[in-house]
A and B are shown apart, each in its own frame.
Chain A
Amino acid sequence: MTETIVAIGTRKGLWIARSNDRESWHLEGPHFLMSEVASVAIDTRAGRSSVLAGVKSWHWGPTVQASEDGGRTWTESAERAVAFPSDTDTALERIWQLTPDPNDSDVVWAGVEPHALFRSTDRGEHYDLVRGLWEHPHRAHWEPGFGGGAVHTVVPEPGHPENLLVAMSAGGVYRSSDAGASWAASNPGIRAYFMPDNEYPEYGQCVHKVARGAGGALFAQNHKGVYRSDDGGTTWESIADGLPTDFGFTILAHPTRPGTVWNIPVADDGERIPPGAQLQVQRSDDGGRSWRMQAKGLPADSYTCVLRDAASLDSEDPVGIYFGTRNGDIFASVDEGESFNRIATQLPDVLVVRAAQLP
């Protein structure tokens, strides 16, 4: 029987929900109690049941914890997993993203604060700085977003290991077509409304999350703005019409059905609650041309918020949707958003949710 796991990283530790039917859930945890878990990757490549977690202790700094048994037991390398080389005179603040590469089952990418990308070739045990991005001439001009300055999103392209996209707050989208050796800003069409003179700069956009959909379309939730790219991120067009708001943090794209995408809207940047205080998901089945609300089972009078990595899909059919809130609720849908059930509550502030079926 297939086991579905939902890894829930919070401000105060990691929990794992398990289910054999996606209806009844067993919650395990906390792991790493009182440490912040901002990034999680479930690595099922090559038949593995591995989980990686980017953990930060208030006292003892950031590290990578690894599990080979689906999150039941954990180990930590004695040597620093992610460390800036000495010539950079820089110290790692936080690991914001861990992304298994779909083209090489030994490669894992880490997006970190301060703005940098690291690459592991040993399944996530140790990581090396990607110099091409670190030495980019724009780097001195990248600004921290409200949550810090970080590469928070890494999007490889299945079948094309040379193509890689990263997103950062605030710097925008950057792409490499030579496996990370060189990088170029790629934000045409994305509006930076907060810039006083030029609202369409080459870079400096505050992108919150980018997701790759089936068929290759890219979807981006920005700091005010929702976009789609049909040319691999070369250009972007707004798909915010029809949404209750263009603000939010996360976006999810169906893994096998082109055009199906979910957005979790937030009222505004100065009003970080669900629109109309109704916790909701917005779904499009036409690539963002039209949207409809999905809120059955989600609370009204809700004044919480869903952060950029606090939502995930699984790989079942129908696909499961999972997201966590800043007030510690986890909601799950096994009918592609038509209804939700609360599968955990009273957890700390949820930073990251990742779901997968273990082999």
Chain B
Amino acid sequence: MSLTPVRVILPGMLRDLVGGVPEIEVGVPAEPVTVADVLDRAFVDHRILDGKVRDERGQIRQHVKVFVNGEDATRGAGVATPVPAGARVHIINAVSGG
């Protein structure tokens, strides 16, 4: 099965936890995958990130945003949002508060 790359781009606050790595490239199969699938793969070798981005139910934390090709997944289907091959997945600390 051929895999195509998806880029998971980390915010600065999380890069410090994984040795300064700015982004993680994961291979995904051609069939549709979801944000949850992509994060599962991205966090295999960076376990500490999983607890920062998602709670133990697998849901994106309240004050974290995940964008897929510039679209805010947390305003839509959340972790069930489809991720096309070649996509950019941005993880962002939300601008919460005043």
Contact = CB atoms under 8 A, between A and B. Distances in A.
Chains A and B come from one and the same complex = yes
Interface of A: 57-61, 63, 76-80, 83-84, 86, 89-92
Interface residues of B, number: 19
Given A58-B96, A59-B13, A84 B63 contact: no
Contacts, number: 47
Contacts of B61: 59-61
Interface of B: 13-14, 47-48, 50-53, 55-57, 59, 61, 63-64, 93-94, 96-97
11 contacts: A59-B52, A59-B93, A60-B93, A61-B51, A61-B61, A77-B48, A78-B47, A80-B56, A83-B51, A84-B56, A91-B59
Contacts of B93: 59-60
Given A59-B63, A60-B61, A61-B51, A83 B56 contact: yes
B64 A59 contact: yes
A63 B47 CA distance: 13
A84 B51 CA distance: 12
Contacts of B56: 80, 83-84, 86, 91-92
Contacts of A59: 13, 52, 61, 63-64, 93-94, 96
A59 B96 CA distance: 9
Contacts of B50: 80
- List the 6 closest pairs (A to B, CB-CB), nearest first: A91-B55, A60-B52, A78-B47, A83-B56, A78-B48, A59-B93
A76 B17 CA distance: 10
A229 to B, nearest CB: 36
Nearest to B11: A59
B48 A91 contact: no
Contacts of A83: 51, 56
B70 to A, nearest CB: 20
Contacts of A78: 47-48
B20 to A, nearest CB: 16
B13 to A, nearest CB: 7
Nearest to B96: A58
Contacts of B14: 60
Given A58-B96, A59-B64, A60-B64, A80 B57 contact: no
B52 A61 contact: yes
A87 B75 CA distance: 26
B64 A76 contact: no
B51 A63 contact: yes
A59 B53 CA distance: 8
